Amino acid sequence: MNFISFLSTQIEKGAIFLNELIIVILPFMEPYLLDHPEAIMITIGFGGQALFATRFIIQWISSENAGKSVIPIAFWYFSISGGLVLLTYAIWRQDPVIIAGQSVGVFIYARNLYFIYREKKLENNS
pLDDT at 79: 97
Percent of the chain with pLDDT over 90: 76
> Average pLDDT over the chain, rounded to whole?
93
Cβ contact 65:89 at 8 Å: no
Range picked from 3-7, 37-41, 62-66 for highest mean pLDDT? 62-66
Q: How confident is the model at residue 36 (pLDDT cuts 50, 70, 90)?
A: confident
What pLDDT is attached to residue 37? 78
| Domain spans, the chain | 3-125
| Residues whose CB falls within 8 Å of the CB of residue 73, separated by 6 or more in sequence, listed in order | 113, 116
- pLDDT band of residue 1 (cuts 50, 70, 90) is low
Q: What is the 3-state secondary structure (H, E, C) of the chain?
A: CCHHHHHHHHHHHHHHHHHHHHHHHCHHHHHHHHHCCCHHHHHHHHHHHHHHHHHHHHHHHHHHHHCCCCCCHHHHHHHHHHHHHHHHHHHHHCCHHHHHHHHHHHHHHHHHHHHHHHHHHHHHHC
What global pTM score does this model have? 0.86
For the segment 103-125, the average pLDDT, to the nearest whole number, is 95
User: What pLDDT is attached to residue 33?
Assistant: 82
